[in-house]
Amino acid sequence: MINIGVLALQGAVREHVKALQAPDVNVVVVKKSEQLDQIDGLVFPGGESTTMRRLINKYGFYEPLKHFAEKGKPVFGTCAGAILMAKELVGHKEPHIAVMDITVERNAFGRQRESFETLLKVKGIGEDVEGIFIRAPIIRQAGEGVDVLAEYDGEIVAARQGPFLACSYHPELTDDFRMHQYFVKMVRESMEVPA
Section 33-57 average pLDDT: 90
> Do the bridges between strand 155-161 and strand 41-44 make them parallel or antiparallel, or are there none, so unpaired?
unpaired
Amino acid at 139: I
Section 115-142 average pLDDT: 92
Section 144-168 average pLDDT: 95
- By annotation, the residues acting in catalysis are 79, 170, 172
The per-residue pLDDT for range 162-193, each reduced to its tens digit, is 999 999 999 999 999 999 999 999 999 998 75
pLDDT for 158 beyond 60:
yes
Burial class (CB in 10 A: 0-12, 13-18, 19+), 55: middle
The per-residue pLDDT for range 82-127, each reduced to its tens digit, is 999 999 888 777 777 889 999 998 866 666 666 889 999 999 999 9
pLDDT of residue 11: 82
What span, in angstroms and rounded, lies between the C-alpha atoms of 126 and 128?
Answer: 6
CATH for 2-191 (1.10.3720.10, 3.40.50.880, 3.20.20.140, 3.30.70.100): 3.40.50.880
Strand, coil or helix: 35 = helix
User: For residue 151, what are the β-bridge partners?
Assistant: 156
